[in-house]
A and B are shown apart, each in its own frame.
Chain A
Amino acid sequence: MSYKAKFKVWRGEGGEGKLEDFTVEVNEGEVVLDIIHRLQATQAPDLAVRWNCKAGKCGSCSMEINGKPRLGCMTRMSTFAEDETITVTPMRTFPVIKDLVTDVSFNYQKAREIPSFTPPQGVRPGEYRMQQVDVERSQEFRKCIECFMCNNICHVIRDHEENKPAFAGPRFLMRIAELDMHPYDVADRQESAQEEHGLGYCNITKCCTEVCPEHIKITDNALIPMKERVVDRKYDPLVWLGNKIFRRPK
């Protein structure tokens, strides 16, 4: 059950490089990452690829396969026709270090720009009282494996390098939503989501959701709810008035 597949793999250091052709053996049950490893073992010993768990859990092996961001270790060869040429490139939005390995420090930078969980004054660890329903929503977001494919595919920065300073990307806008929905977080998240982290750049076209290997509904459950919270804070005069008059607890 093995056959020879045609591959085009991006080779190069930094931005410069080109697609190189390979013909390589494929066996039943293999995934794209296996084939990349076979190339390393047989034809291209210096081919660089980042991977770790081979189980879709570490988020290291993000690459683009036939133009779509995918985890190399979770993309089965059986989803391609045997005569299909499979093109493998590094993630487009981040600078390339070598071959398929990109420098994803943009994401670490953005993560650091978000103030961490801020509990109210005077509540000590052990005094938090929450029900399961209060935290359920944000538990979905914690399934994230930080593969950064959502930030990679988001056209706001993928097609517009110049937007990078102003935009945190879906991964970290989701982090802001997670904190804003937390029953015990008191930091301002709404004003800053819009003004500092670029929530307004998102036009809810849902590519982040389409690409997430953990099937997190990033747009529906994090970004749009966060946009609605920003409307409460910044654009809805009635809510503003209501909050002034009643000061309801949330």
Chain B
Amino acid sequence: MVEGRARVALFVTCLVDLFRPTVGFAAVKLLEQAGCTVEVPRAQTCCGQPAYNSGDRADAKTIAVQVMDAFSGYDYVVAPSGSCAGMIRLHYPKMFVDDPTSRARAEELAARTWELVSFLVDVRKMGEVAAQWRRVATYHDACSGLRELGVRDQPRRLLASVEGLELRELLNPEVCCGFGGTFCVKYPEISDKMVSEKADDIAATGADAVLAGDLGCLLNIAGKLSRQGRQVEVRHVAEVLAGMTSAPPIGAPRS
């Protein structure tokens, strides 16, 4: 583990804020374990991806500037989502090609923005966690984290240190689950086909839980599994790594 404290701003992400604060608190706990001081800038809302992916450049840019303002001055910005972190790291700089000042700011922010688990492993050199979870679980590689940020081995490495946990790989861990932001409601039948295949893949492993690093995918997968009546526990990987698995799983009844 890296010595010395780092001042980290948590980018909560709009889905975690709204649906699953537990993931946010799990992220805080893990970051603190990794020797970071965590702050949560109040001026944050969303990374602007819905606007960006819908072709609304103007709004996407305004929101990006707002994020740059809210997160200036911290050593790092960390998000429990490869999708939002990828948006800031890869897409913000591209949005300001014809505006050198904002572009420089965007690049500066991009350089210190990380997806949670890769930050823990690659930057803070965390090699293990002190968590316990008696489950057979499988892991879905969310698209942006995997292909934009190269998040693949890091979560597996930390999960391997969770006591009692057996990880069983999917046949196609790297195939999209069909969430895709607005895609899942614009083309519900296609999205349904994709998430059904993901659910089948999950079921075929015989695992009793599925984990991923992005809440969008998890809501989609949990929604499908529960519609099919399949009893598979769905959680964000941070919850397991932080040992915060007492809350009911995503989409499960409250006990």
Q: Does chain A bind chain B?
A: no
Query: Interface residues, chain B, CB within 8 Å of chain A?
Result: none
